Amino acid sequence: MPVVTAAHLTHLYVDRVDILDVLSAPLLGSLTISLMSTRQGPQSLSAQESVTRFLHQSRCHLESLSISEAMFTFDTSSRMFALEACSTISRLKLELHPRMVNGIVETLTSPSVLPNLRHLILCMSQPSGDEWTAILRMARSRRDAGMLKLVEVQFRLDEPDCYLAEDMRALTGDDFEMRVEKWDPPCRDHLYLEHLS
């Protein structure tokens, strides 16, 4: 299929990644990937491959990326975040499945991954003790590197335990803040995009 170039497209919300196989958007600055439905068949690409190919053919430089939990496999985050198009991301919103928290957070712990990241939003269930320790280690590492300014944690159902709030207050100071916000996963980002037009 021929690729269609959307020369002036700056914000894109998709709930079917297969549309990315035939699209190029060189000025794209904001990408939201919600529900992952793709074509099935011998020539269909995985969700990861579709997004990677789209970013390569677009040659865009994203400022904002939001991804639903259905997108992630154990090695997705490290491969995707290493792409040139992702090197300029300053705002990242991730909906994390409980099994994926540690792997993705460990990837983000290094300030060399997404070096321009200033605002991180984690949408997730209440974390286990190990997951919370990994999140705090990542936040501290990126805060100390000087670029990350805000980490929002959004819990699916529960109010955070009081020890989580204490841990966040301990990290907050000067040019860095870590806080709990209302549940607002990537599938709701289209509501924000409607206000941009």
What is the per-residue pLDDT for 41?
Answer: 45
The 3-class secondary structure across 133-156, one letter per residue, is: HHHHHHHHHHHHHCCCCEEEEEEC
pLDDT of 14 reads 93
pLDDT of residue 42: 42
Torsion sign over Cα 39, 45, 48, 54: negative
And the tokens for 154? 């959004």
Q: What is the per-residue pLDDT across 116-173, written as a single tens digit (0 to 9) for each?
A: 999 999 999 888 899 999 999 999 999 999 999 999 999 987 666 778 889 999 999 8
| Tens of pLDDT, residue by residue, the chain (197 residues) | 789 999 999 999 998 888 999 999 999 999 999 865 544 544 445 788 888 899 999 999 999 999 988 776 656 667 788 888 999 999 999 999 888 899 899 999 999 999 999 999 999 988 889 999 999 999 999 999 999 999 999 998 766 677 888 999 999 988 999 999 989 988 888 776 555 55
Whether residue 132 contacts residue 155, with contact meaning beta carbons closer than 8 Å, is answered with no
pLDDT reported for residue 190: 74
Number of separate domains in the chain: 1
Which CATH number covers residue 153?
A: 3.80.10
pLDDT number for residue 196: 55
Q: Please give the residue range of the domain that contains residue 192.
A: 4-196
Query: The tokens 């970013």 sit on which residue?
Result: 55
How far apart, in Å, do the first and last CA atoms of the chain sit? 29
Q: What is the rounded distance in angstroms from the CA atom of residue 66 to the CA atom of residue 27? A: 17
Cα–Cα distances in Å, from 66 out to 49, 123, 144?
Answer: 17, 10, 24
Distance CA 20, CA 72 (A): 17
The total number of residues shown for the chain amounts to 197
Q: pTM above 0.85?
A: yes
